Amino acid sequence: MKGGSNLRWWILLTVIVGTFLGRLDQTIVNLALPKIINDFGITVSSAGWIATAYIIANAVFVPIWGKLGDTLGRKKVYIWGFSIFIIGSVLAGLSWNLLSMIVFRIIQAIAGSADYPTAMAIIAVTFKEGKERAQALGIWSSSFAAAVVFGPLLGGPLIDNFGWRSVFLINLPIGILGIVMAMRFINESRSNIKTKFFDWWGAFVLGGMLSSLVLVLDKGSDWGWLSVSSSICYFLVVFLLGLFIKIEHKAPEPIVDLKFFKIPAFVNALVNNFVVFMGMMGGVFLIPVFAQTFLGFNATEAGYLFIPMAVAMMMGAPLGGMLTGKVQSRYVIFASTIVAALGIYLFTGLDPKSTAIDIMIPLSIMAFGLGFGMAQRTNIIASVVPQSEIGIASSVLALVRNIAGAFGIAIFATILSNRITSNVITINSFSKINSHSPIEIQKFTSLIELKAQVVAYDYVFLIASIIVFIGSFTILFLKLKNERSDIKVHLE
């Protein structure tokens, strides 16, 4: 590799900049929504489409970028994605109404979805040796956590001092730095297999299926899970999934190689990832809501609660990678998932008297556990598929994580809502007030609602911890051929 062995660490730093910027954008824009709503004169429900459109576009294009990176060149696709993302960011910062904002956020999402599959593939082909690759993937994974921290830390001051447009325009100088680094340090790599026919039909059908799935997960609670709109989405998901499988079986160069799903280790790692991220996202997205609703924190203070979480994840990810070759991957992932489940379970003790420490400690435990196994999970995916198809495989992993998060949020938001209603009825049936004073009756009703909500949160956290705990055992069935000091898997 040109430039000596130190070059590979500059390559790692380069893709970290890209990943950090993409994830920072997702966390920082949410803080700007109240200002955007006020400036555009739109409702909160309408503003929700800014996030929904981004999520859908991001999910749809991840597999496409993964395939293009493997065939056209990962460096080329990475720089394309980065460049278009910057353009989309500037346009979003100049948007004048809701429609223009949604269009420009879609451009951002399409370009931003190129980062994960190409970055992971670039790392995998740069760091050949399994142990070092796992460490690199662990360090890279910690950039996700760093973005969670710096989102509120940078976003609050930017919005307060320079307005909401600044959260988009800040991407320009950082993005230019990332592009210069990519052009300077990253070596071009691509699959040895030349693509003759791009699977456009497969990409189109997969996009339709993912759009329908993400849409119903995001809007199902508003529409009603059994409404006509939701039912149409369910039908489209099932129909298009069946059509996609049929297309991929016949496609000479499928956008998602279905033979991956014949590799037990690949499937096992995906299942574990899905369960863990569903439980984690389903439980953790409620933390800021709980902190602001019951503990009196403002949005910035609630964001600060996640700083120890990010630090714990940044510590855990490299440490987990260092165990490659010393402890079998499945045992590392199993232990890390158990720790993450414990962290989520500790949230069941939250109540209106809880302090910031009562939230930070469980978050840190959960994040350390998640980070500790993250590099191993990612490394397994990169190790069990041919190097020529790492980009496609990593895009599947990203897709599974995104869908799992959407599933978790949708499911647990519904569980919370239903549980609150059930708790109000139950608590009310066992409660009595010996007063006819309107003020006393209002206090009585408020206390019932408060108790119902707090107990409902505890219930959701309990369910989430159980799901993650059960998910930890799925990884024990994973077996890698010839796992010694390195992960070496020989495909048939």
Domain extents in the chain: 1-197, 200-250, 262-492
pLDDT of residue 1: 41
Same fold, 1-197 and 262-492: yes
* pLDDT value, residue 2: 45
CB 258 within 8 A of CB 393: no
Query: In Å, how far are 275, 317, 318, 324, 344 from 332, measured between CA atoms?
Result: 16, 11, 13, 9, 19
- Angle between the N-to-C axes of helices 7-40 and 130-162, in degrees from 0 to 180, rounded to the nearest 10: 30
Q: Rounded to whole angstroms, how far apart are CA atoms 417 and 156?
A: 30
Report pTM.
0.73
- For residue 190, give the 3-state DSSP assignment: coil
pLDDT (tens, 9 = 90+) of the chain, 492 residues, equals 444 467 788 888 888 888 888 777 777 777 787 788 888 888 766 777 787 778 778 777 877 777 777 777 888 888 888 899 999 999 999 999 988 998 999 899 888 888 877 887 788 778 876 667 777 777 787 777 677 667 767 777 788 788 889 889 988 888 888 889 888 888 887 666 655 667 778 888 888 888 888 788 877 877 888 899 989 999 999 999 999 899 888 887 777 778 888 888 888 888 888 888 887 777 777 787 788 778 888 766 777 787 888 788 878 877 877 777 777 888 888 898 899 999 999 998 888 888 889 999 998 998 888 888 877 777 777 777 776 677 677 777 777 877 887 778 778 878 888 888 887 777 766 666 666 666 666 666 666 777 777 888 888 889 888 988 988 888 887 766 554 434 343 333
Task: Report the 10 Å Cβ neighbour count for 357.
Answer: 10
Residue 12 near residue 123 (C-beta atoms within 8 A): yes
Q: What share of the chain is helix, strand, coil (3-state, %, to 5)?
A: 80, 0, 20
- Residue partners of 332: CB distance under 8 A and separation at least 6: 320, 323, 372, 373, 376
Q: Tokens in use for 141?
A: 């994974």
Q: How far apart are CA 273 and CA 377, in angstroms?
A: 8
Rounded distance between C-alpha atoms, residue 123 and residue 134, angstroms: 10
- What is the token pair recorded at 303? 């964001």
* Fold adopted by 1-197: Growth Hormone; Chain: A; (1.20.1250)
Domain 262-492, classified CATH 3.30.1780.10, yes or no? no
